[in-house]
């Protein structure tokens, strides 16, 4: 188990979160940024692209489609992480971040949790219309850190809501999405002794993940 400072975990999350694209003559550009300005590099199509010293990079001339990118840091303090990126018209929109300043260290399987964030963000982006808004918030209580992914899309219907955590359940077409169902996401969070909750109505869907600041033996 890797034990990272939680702000470091969010540094990787933000790289994924800011993967929104803007249409320009049938191509897109992707803007990637770290929250604390730490330089990083991106591997895309066997090319290595380094960020600026301020911790951002722009990937130009990206055509519509699905991509796999790897993100790492020059000093190799942490292992490379892989993310799925979808460039397309539906990705046009806004990202709002609202991060608490008093976040503690959290023991976590970082690669597993990155899959959680990637899946939840991908789901939120899929629900957005053009110029929609995705919000990522963090907070804490006495025992847990809390992460919320919020979108202002059409919401989850009453018919679908009871089934979203069932194995193999999806409302997406074949080939769409990250390929990881919410039941697997729930298992990863449970393995961290955490919990995931969802609230939805037209115009606001919120997935909230809580993770304990002190870990007990993982549940089976």
Of residues 18 and 217, more confidence is placed in 217
> How many domains does one find in the chain?
1
Q: How many whole angstroms separate alpha carbon 21 and alpha carbon 198?
A: 27
What local confidence, expressed as pLDDT, does residue 28 receive? 67
* Residue 111: domain span: 3-212
What local confidence, expressed as pLDDT, does residue 5 receive? 35
Residue 220 inside a domain? The answer is no
What local confidence, expressed as pLDDT, does residue 60 receive? 73
pLDDT digits (tens, 9 = 90+) for 19-53: 444 433 456 667 777 766 678 888 988 889 888 77
* Banded model confidence at residue 98, pLDDT cuts 50, 70, 90: confident
Residue 219 inside a domain? The answer is no
Whether pLDDT at 9 is above 50: no
CATH code of 53's domain: 3.30.565.10
* Banded model confidence at residue 117, pLDDT cuts 50, 70, 90: confident
Q: What is the residue-averaged pLDDT of the chain?
A: 76
Average pLDDT over residues 174-182: 58
Residue 204 backbone dihedrals phi, psi, to 5 degrees: -160, 115
Residue 217 inside a domain? The answer is no
Residue 115 inside a domain? The answer is yes
Average pLDDT over residues 48-65: 79
Instruction: Show the tokens assigned to 30.
Output: 């992707």
What local confidence, expressed as pLDDT, does residue 22 receive? 40
Whether pLDDT at 192 is above 90: yes
What local confidence, expressed as pLDDT, does residue 64 receive? 77
DSSP 158-218: TTTGGGTTSTT---SPTT-S-S--HHHHHHHHHHTT-EEEEEEETTEEEEEEEEESSPPSP
């Amino acid at each position: 188990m890797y034990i990272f400072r939680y702000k470091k975990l969010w540094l990787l999350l933000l790289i994924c979160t800011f993967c929104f694209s803007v249409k320009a003559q049938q191509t897109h550009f992707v803007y990637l940024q770290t929250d604390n300005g730490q330089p990083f590099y991106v591997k895309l199509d066997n090319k290595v692209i380094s960020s600026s010293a301020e911790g951002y990079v722009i990937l130009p001339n990206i055509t519509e489609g699905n991509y796999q990118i790897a993100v790492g840091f020059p000093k190799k303090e942490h292992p490379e992480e892989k993310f799925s990126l979808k460039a397309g018209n539906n990705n046009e929109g806004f990202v709002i971040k609202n991060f608490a300043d008093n976040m503690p260290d959290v023991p976590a399987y970082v690669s597993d949790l990155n899959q959680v964030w990637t899946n939840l963000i991908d789901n939120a982006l899929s629900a957005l219309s053009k110029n929609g808004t995705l919000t990522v918030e963090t907070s804490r209580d006495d025992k847990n850190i809390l992460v919320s992914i919020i979108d202002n899309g059409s919401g989850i219907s009453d018919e679908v809501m009871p089934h979203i955590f069932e194995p193999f359940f999806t409302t997406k077409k074949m080939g769409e999405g990250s390929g990881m169902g919410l039941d697997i996401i729930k298992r990863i969070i449970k393995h961290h002794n955490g919990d995931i909750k969802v609230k939805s109505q037209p115009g606001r869907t919120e997935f909230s993940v809580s993770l304990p600041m002190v870990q007990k033996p993982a549940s089976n």
